[in-house]
Amino acid sequence: MSRGGDVGADTSTTEMAEEPQYLYLTTIGRKTGLPREIEIWFTSLNGRFYLIAENWERANWVQNILDSPQVTLRVNEQD
Q: pLDDT grade, residue 79 (50/70/90)?
A: confident
The closest of 32, 48, 31, 49 to 40, measured between CA atoms, is 49
Distance CA 12, CA 52 (A): 24
pLDDT score of 5 more than 70: no
pLDDT, residue 17, reads: 54
Q: Give residue limits of the domains in the chain.
A: 20-74
Q: What is the model's pTM?
A: 0.71
Tell me the CA distances in angstroms from 4 to 8, 13, 15, 17, one per residue in order: 12, 16, 21, 22
Q: Give me the percent of the chain exceeding a pLDDT of 70.
A: 77
Judging by DSSP bridges, how do beta strands 22-28 and 43-45 pair with one another?
A: unpaired
pLDDT tens-digit readout, 19-74: 778 999 999 999 999 999 999 999 999 989 999 888 888 999 999 999 999 999 99
pLDDT, residue 63, reads: 96
| Residues in contact with 72: Cβ distance below 8 Å, sequence separation at least 6, in sequence order | 25, 26, 79
- State which fold the 20-74 domain adopts: Pnp Oxidase; Chain A (2.30.110)
